[in-house]
Amino acid sequence: MAVRSISDRRTLIVRGAGAFLLALLCVLAIALLQRNGALDGVNFGLMRMAGAARDSVTGQHVTTLMRLFSIIGDTAGRLVILAVLLPALLWTGRRAHMIWLAAMMAGGTALNLVLKQIFAAPRPNLLPHLDAVHSYSFPSGHAAGNMMLFGALAMLAGRRVTYLGAAAIIALIGISRVWLGVHWPSDVTAGWIEGLGWLALCRVWLPARRG
């Protein structure tokens, strides 16, 4: 049993590392395609659609909703969520889960900051920005960070409904960044892939669920 357990553990580590490396390769591929203009058709087309929708009759109301999701998905919003969840996990006797979630988010945030500095991609200027931004654009920190956070929460809960809810929130936060004109769609896609890869790697050390 012990030999089998060690073998299974090694298999999980290899799979997690493989998924993470694959995600990084996909992010690199998207960055190269974006830089060479191969994604201009998709990026410009979708952002122009967002701009037209913003100027429509209901666009103002949708913009308010998009601002809300963008605020929730901002770094400050994620910190507030963690400030509530981490003590709650500790209070309910799930110290290992608390440490895993905190370490996963800290490492994932650092990863995104490093990738942004490596690619140093400017923000899109096709539409007026409806959010104040000062960092590089690629990959999207909102997309990556919330894929990590809400994906991790779904994994900790382990219920189908939580996965569906997490997917909806992740999608809306990513879409909000394109709607607000501060990210290309490819920035958001790369952020989602980055977040998924990091989750796949960190899942190896996910504590077993209790209760």
Summarize pLDDT for 161-178 with one digit per residue, the tens. 999 999 999 999 999 999
State the Cα–Cα distance between residues 148 and 133, nearest whole angstrom.
21
SS3 content of the chain, % helix, strand, coil (to 5): 75, 0, 25
- Per-residue three-class SS string for 2-33: HHHHHHHHHHHHHHHHHHHHHHHHHHHHHHHH
What is the phi/psi pair of residue 185, to 5°? -55, -35
Average pLDDT over residues 100-111: 96
Average pLDDT over residues 4-30: 86
The mean predicted confidence, pLDDT, of the chain is 91
Q: For position 57, what pLDDT does the model report?
A: 86
Average pLDDT over residues 17-41: 95
Q: Tell which wins on pLDDT, 49 or 209.
A: 49
Average pLDDT over residues 43-48: 95
Q: For position 211, what pLDDT does the model report?
A: 39
Record the pTM: 0.91
Neighbouring C-beta atoms of residue 113, cutoff 10 Å: 13
How confident is residue 5, by pLDDT bands cut at 50, 70 and 90? Answer: low
State the Cα–Cα distance between residues 133 and 130, nearest whole angstrom.
9
User: Residues of the chain with pLDDT > 70: what percent?
Assistant: 95
Q: For position 132, what pLDDT does the model report?
A: 87
Q: For position 176, what pLDDT does the model report?
A: 95
Using alpha carbons only, what angle is made at residue 175 by residues 49 and 88, rounded to the nearest 5 degrees? 165
User: Residues of the chain with pLDDT > 90: what percent?
Assistant: 80
Where is 103: in which H helix or E strand? Answer: helix 95-119
The pair of structure tokens assigned to 47 is: 């952002």
State the Cα–Cα distance between residues 85 and 91, nearest whole angstrom.
10
Average pLDDT over residues 106-126: 95
Q: For position 209, what pLDDT does the model report?
A: 55
73: pLDDT strictly greater than 80: yes
147: pLDDT strictly greater than 70: yes
User: Structurally, what CATH architecture does the domain formed by 2-205 represent?
Assistant: Up-down Bundle (1.20)
Q: For position 4, what pLDDT does the model report?
A: 54
Handedness of CA 22, 81, 102, 90 (dihedral sign): negative
State the Cα–Cα distance between residues 186 and 39, nearest whole angstrom.
8
State the Cα–Cα distance between residues 104 and 81, nearest whole angstrom.
14
The pair of structure tokens assigned to 18 is: 């493989």
State the Cα–Cα distance between residues 7 and 51, nearest whole angstrom.
53
Average pLDDT over residues 136-147: 95
Selection from 134, 139, 152 nearest residue 113 by Cα:
139
